[in-house]
């Protein structure tokens, strides 16, 4: 199957609002997914990611906004008229049908003849590397195999878009990682648009071309995995993606995004940072600094100091727990084998960082 | 998933040997032997060996048109009752399986409360409704649909309706339990794969609910075949069913051997139907076991 042409697999969400009572489960979210793109919807539970997916699928109807697939508006179309593929969180293979019958089901619903159904079902089963399992019942397959069959069933009718609702969350860690790579390869191979809901940031960063980070129904940031990690636009994204030290303080002068600033910390002392968003003077700000960007140097020279309270060795890196001025707790990560200074617990150290790595947000 | 069970049963994680299992079940088994097996055996014995070894009583049941008509009517009414109960039970069980909290509690009470009420009370209630000057007739007259009271009681329709109502819980509960076991995700998956509501029902819901439907139908059908109180009171002599006939033979004719033959015929019929149904619908044929 070749890459689908043009805009057929594009998904557009415009100003989506979904209310449950007084709560906005989805609060004015707009996003566009390109044809053949892999987009992850990432957020904690209650962030609205599943509601957005269900609105695209047609199981939820929005209170405001529009949904387009390709050029066509589908906001009010029932699920069975949208021609989308979907893989669910729980296993949804029909237990009374064999694996092949399950895969052939959507073809049967489309009035395709028995011979062609079987041929296409077998081909789809081979795509997910389960060629020999066609005659089994779903209950005879492992969880990972069941989800592969579910994927085969969702792509056998060549939908333009494949929706995935935390399809790997029931699998154990090793299998999950294996399946992440496999789904990614499959997606590239058949060039289908994928919208993938997950609460697992590693999964989102590993698989997706772009990630939409959501919190409390609002779209926090939409960007490539690298941008989210290295240039988060909000304090939520900085805290949600990867590990981060937060230092709270106040700013004396207003700053525009990218400006170097000097923040007076609540714990005492001052800290050099860069404004990640427009910051008015006098507001409380939060500075985010990644543990691996915090450098730990031997004591005795100028600069902020801290005391090592704990050193946790984890093979590829050592994590230091630090107590800085005014009891500020920090973490630093020292990669193994880089020949860097590795202080012991109780030792006093000096801290240093690049001003650009310390990003200040509105608290 | 498997329908097979180990011979020793599990309780609190403990496995009982066949001997202790038998001991635990003994009080019940003894009771059944005394109040059910023994009288039944006596009755069947009389049907075959009184006055001497004979099949005459059985032949009489099939040869005399009046008895044959009672048996065929019994069969017909049981089929109609099962069909009507299924028709009423399915939508109710469906709504129950998709309800939660207070709604489910109310529906469950509506199904179960009649079950805890005496069959006699429920039957008299139907008589009050259907009699010549009953609620239904009064309503029909007030609405101007009929000029004079019409006969509702002692008709086959009344018997079927009242029996279907009395036996309804036995249809609702197994279907409800089967439908409850079908996750809503299956319906969603089917819709997503392009199935209309009707196709989802036909291809997914119905086959998965079939074991529940079968046990419901089997239970209602078998109970209807041997039902006594409701058909006797609502149907009267015109709509006599086999249980009433048996009672008449025992109490009025004092013909125990012939009553035994009727019971024997009913028993064989019930056993045959049970076996055929159990063979036809085996759960493990629908759901493969690992």
In the Cβ-directed half-sphere of B207, how many Cα atoms lie within 13 Å?
Answer: 16
Q: Are A229 and A205 in contact (CB under 8 A)?
A: yes
The percentage of chain A sitting over the pLDDT mark of 70, rounded to a whole number, equals 98
The percentage of chain A sitting over the pLDDT mark of 90, rounded to a whole number, equals 76
Q: What is the pLDDT of residues A165-207, one digit of tens each?
A: 999 998 999 999 999 999 999 999 999 999 999 999 999 999 9
A158 lies within 8 A of chain B by CB: no
Interface test with A, best of B178, B194, B282 (most A CBs within 10 A): B194
What pLDDT score was predicted for residue A252? 84
What pLDDT score was predicted for residue A6? 60
pLDDT score of B277 more than 90: no
Alpha carbon distance A278, A361 (integer Å): 8
What pLDDT score was predicted for residue A340? 76
For B210, residues 6+ apart whose C-beta sits below 8 A from its C-beta are: B178, B281, B286
A188 lies within 8 A of chain B by CB: no
* Domain end position, chosen among A205, A230, A255: A230
Asked if B208 and A94 come within 8 Å (Cβ–Cβ), the reply is yes
A63 found inside a domain: yes
Asked if B194 and A109 come within 8 Å (Cβ–Cβ), the reply is yes
Alpha carbon distance B129, B161 (integer Å): 12
Residues B164, B187, B287: CA angle, nearest 5 degrees: 75
A5 found inside a domain: no
pLDDT score of B164 more than 90: yes
| Domain B55-283 classification at class level | mainly alpha
Question: Chain B: nearest CA to A5, how far in angstroms?
Answer: 23
pLDDT score of B280 more than 80: no
Same domain (yes/no): A219, A302 = no
| Domains of chain B, residue spans | 55-283
Question: Chain B: nearest CA to A32, how far in angstroms?
Answer: 22
Residue ranges making up the domain that contains A63: 11-230
**Is residue B11 within a helix (H) or strand (E), and if so which, with residue range?**
strand B10-11
**Is residue B15 within a helix (H) or strand (E), and if so which, with residue range?**
strand B14-15
Interface test with A, best of B185, B187, B189 (most A CBs within 10 A): B189
What pLDDT score was predicted for residue B14? 67
Mean pLDDT of B234-251: 90
Q: Which residue of A has its CA nearest to B1?
A: A139
A235 found inside a domain: no
Same domain (yes/no): A282, A353 = yes
What pLDDT score was predicted for residue B290? 33
Asked if A92 and B183 come within 8 Å (Cβ–Cβ), the reply is yes
pLDDT score of B11 more than 70: no
Judging contacts by C-beta atoms under 8 Å, the chain B residues touching residue A102 are none
pLDDT score of B260 more than 90: yes
Alpha carbon distance A321, A254 (integer Å): 32
Judging contacts by C-beta atoms under 8 Å, the chain B residues touching residue A59 are 188
Instruction: Give the N- to C-terminal CA distance of chain A in Å, as an integer.
Output: 49
pLDDT score of A341 more than 60: yes
A147 lies within 8 A of chain B by CB: no
The mean pLDDT of chain B is 88
Same domain (yes/no): A29, A178 = yes
Alpha carbon distance A349, A297 (integer Å): 6
Q: What's the pLDDT band for A325 if we cut at 50, 70, 90?
A: confident
Q: What is the pLDDT of residues A94-151, one digit of tens each?
A: 999 999 999 999 999 999 999 999 999 999 999 999 989 999 999 999 999 999 999 9
Record the tokens describing residue B86, joined without a space.
């299924």
What pLDDT score was predicted for residue A16? 96
Q: Which long-range contacts (CB under 8 A, 24 or more apart) does A13-16 make?
A: A13/A52, A13/A55, A13/A56, A13/A65, A13/A66, A13/A67, A14/A65, A14/A66, A14/A67, A14/A68, A15/A64, A15/A65, A15/A66, A16/A52, A16/A55, A16/A62, A16/A64, A16/A65, A16/A66, A16/A67
Question: Chain A: nearest CA to B48, how far in angstroms?
Answer: 47
State the CB neighbour count (10 A cutoff) for residue B123: 20
Alpha carbon distance A151, A183 (integer Å): 9
Asked if B190 and A85 come within 8 Å (Cβ–Cβ), the reply is no
pLDDT score of A31 more than 80: yes
| Alpha-carbon separation of residue A194 from A69, A175, B184 (angstroms) | 12, 20, 23
Same domain (yes/no): A51, A192 = yes
pLDDT score of B210 more than 50: yes
Asked if B208 and A96 come within 8 Å (Cβ–Cβ), the reply is yes
Same domain (yes/no): A129, A186 = yes
Residue that the structure tokens 């030792």 belong to:
A347
Nearest of B267, B274, B215, B273 to residue B243 by alpha carbon: B267
Mean pLDDT of A43-61: 95
Same domain (yes/no): A212, A255 = no
Nearest of B204, B151, B141 to residue B178 by alpha carbon: B204
Nearest of A40, A36, A41 to residue A51 by alpha carbon: A41
A4 found inside a domain: no
Q: What's the pLDDT band for B1 if we cut at 50, 70, 90?
A: very low
Beta strands in chain A (DSSP E): 11-20, 23-33, 38-42, 64-69, 72-73, 85-87, 161-165, 193-198, 210-215, 218-223, 245-251, 260-265, 270-275, 284-289, 295-298, 305-313, 317-323, 329-335, 348-352, 359-362
CATH number, domain with residue A305: 2.40.50.140
Which of A65-79, A287-301, B24-38 is predicted least confidently?
A287-301
A78 found inside a domain: yes
Alpha carbon distance A152, A134 (integer Å): 11
Same domain (yes/no): A38, A102 = yes
Interface test with B, best of A53, A89, A105, A120 (most B CBs within 10 A): A105
What pLDDT score was predicted for residue B8? 46
Nearest of A231, A248, A331 to residue A291 by alpha carbon: A331
Asked if B186 and A154 come within 8 Å (Cβ–Cβ), the reply is no
Q: Which residue of B has its CA nearest to A104?
A: B193
The reported pTM is 0.81
The closest CB to that of B196, out of A80, A106, A136, belongs to A80
Q: Which residue of B has its CA nearest to A138?
A: B288
Q: What is the pLDDT of residues A203-222, one digit of tens each?
A: 999 999 999 999 999 999 99
The residues pairing with A142 across neighbouring beta strands, listed in sequence order, are none
Provide the 3-class DSSP secondary structure of residue A252: coil
Q: Are strands A295-298 and A329-335 parallel, antiparallel or unpaired?
A: unpaired
Same domain (yes/no): A109, A177 = yes
Same domain (yes/no): A16, A123 = yes
Asked if A140 and B288 come within 8 Å (Cβ–Cβ), the reply is yes
Nearest of A173, A239, A235 to residue A206 by alpha carbon: A173
The mean pLDDT of chain A is 92
Alpha carbon distance B138, B148 (integer Å): 9
Same domain (yes/no): A184, A274 = no
Provide the 3-class DSSP secondary structure of residue A319: strand
Q: Which residue of B has its CA nearest to A59?
A: B188
CATH number, domain with residue A165: 3.40.50.300
pLDDT score of B131 more than 60: yes
Question: Total domain count for chain A?
Answer: 2
For A187, residues 6+ apart whose C-beta sits below 8 A from its C-beta are: A38, A162, A194
A345 found inside a domain: yes
A238 found inside a domain: no
Same domain (yes/no): A178, A292 = no
Q: Which residue of A has its CA nearest to B288?
A: A137
What is the number of residues in chain B? Answer: 290
A257 found inside a domain: yes
Question: Chain A: nearest CA to B242, how far in angstroms?
Answer: 39
């Amino acid at each position: 199957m070749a890459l689908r042409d043009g805009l057929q697999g594009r998904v557009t969400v415009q100003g989506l609002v979904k209310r449950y009572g007084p709560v906005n489960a989805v609060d004015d979210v707009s996003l566009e997914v390109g044809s053949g793109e892999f987009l992850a919807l990432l957020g904690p539970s209650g962030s609205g990611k599943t509601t957005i997916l269900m609105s695209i699928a047609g199981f939820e109807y929005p209170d405001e906004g529009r949904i387009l697939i390709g050029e066509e508006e589908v906001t009010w179309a029932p699920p069975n008229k949208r021609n989308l593929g979907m893989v669910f969180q729980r296993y949804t293979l029909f237990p009374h049908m064999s694996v092949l019958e399950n895969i052939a089901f959507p073809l049967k619903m489309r009035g395709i003849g028995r011979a062609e159904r079987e041929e296409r079902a077998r081909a789809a089963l081979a795509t997910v590397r389960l060629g020999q399992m066609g005659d089994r019942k779903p209950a005879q397959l492992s969880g990972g195999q069941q989800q592969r069959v579910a994927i085969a069933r969702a792509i056998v009718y060549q939908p333009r878009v494949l929706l995935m609702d935390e399809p790997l969350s029931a699998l154990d860690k090793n299998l999950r990682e294996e399946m992440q790579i496999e789904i990614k390869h499959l997606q590239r191979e058949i060039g289908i648009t994928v919208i993938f809901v997950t609460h697992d940031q590693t999964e989102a960063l590993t698989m997706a071309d772009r990630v939409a980070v959501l919190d409390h129904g609002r779209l926090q940031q939409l960007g490539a995995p690298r941008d989210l990690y290295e240039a988060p636009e909000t304090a939520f994204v900085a805290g949600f993606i990867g590990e981060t030290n937060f230092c709270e303080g106040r700013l004396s002068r207003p700053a525009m995004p990218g400006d170097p600033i000097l923040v007076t910390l609540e714990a005492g002392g001052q800290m050099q940072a860069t404004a990640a968003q427009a910051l008015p003077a006098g507001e409380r700000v939060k500075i985010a600094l990644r543990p691996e960007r915090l450098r730990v140097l031997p004591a005795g020279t100028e600069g902020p100091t801290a005391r090592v309270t704990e050193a946790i060795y984890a093979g590829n890196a050592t994590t230091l727990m630090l107590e800085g001025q005014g009891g500020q707790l920090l973490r630093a990560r020292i990669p193994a084998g880089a020949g860097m200074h590795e202080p012991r617990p109780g030792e006093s150290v000096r801290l240093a960082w690049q001003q650009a790595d310390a990003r200040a947000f509105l608290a | 998933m498997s329908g097979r069970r180990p011979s020793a049963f599990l309780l609190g994680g403990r496995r009982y040997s066949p001997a202790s299992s038998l001991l635990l079940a003994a009080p019940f088994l003894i009771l059944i032997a005394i109040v059910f097996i023994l009288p039944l055996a006596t009755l069947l014995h009389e049907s075959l060996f009184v006055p001497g070894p004979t099949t005459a009583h059985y032949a009489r049941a099939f040869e005399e048109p009046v008895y044959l008509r009672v048996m065929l009517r019994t069969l017909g009414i049981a089929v109609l009752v099962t069909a009507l109960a299924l028709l009423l039970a399915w939508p109710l069980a469906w709504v129950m399986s998709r309800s939660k909290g207070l709604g489910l509690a109310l529906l469950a009470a509506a199904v179960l409360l009649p079950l805890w009420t005496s069959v006699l009370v429920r039957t008299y209630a139907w008589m009050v409704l259907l009699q010549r000057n009953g609620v239904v007739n009064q309503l029909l007259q007030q609405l101007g649909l009929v000029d004079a009271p019409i006969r509702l009681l002692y008709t086959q329709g009344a018997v079927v309706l009242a029996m279907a109502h009395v036996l309804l819980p036995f249809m609702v509960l197994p279907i409800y339990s089967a439908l409850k076991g079908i996750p809503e995700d299956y319906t969603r998956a089917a819709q997503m794969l392009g199935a209309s509501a009707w196709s989802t029902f036909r291809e997914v819901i119905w086959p998965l609910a079939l074991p529940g439907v079968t046990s419901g139908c089997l239970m209602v059908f078998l109970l209807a075949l041997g039902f006594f109180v409701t058909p006797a009171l609502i149907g009267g002599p015109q709509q006599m069913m086999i249980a009433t006939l048996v009672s008449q033979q025992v109490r009025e004719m004092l013909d125990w051997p012939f009553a035994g033959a009727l019971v024997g015929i009913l028993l064989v019929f019930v056993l045959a139907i049970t076996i055929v149904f159990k063979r036809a619908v085996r759960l493990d044929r629908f759901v493969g076991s690992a």
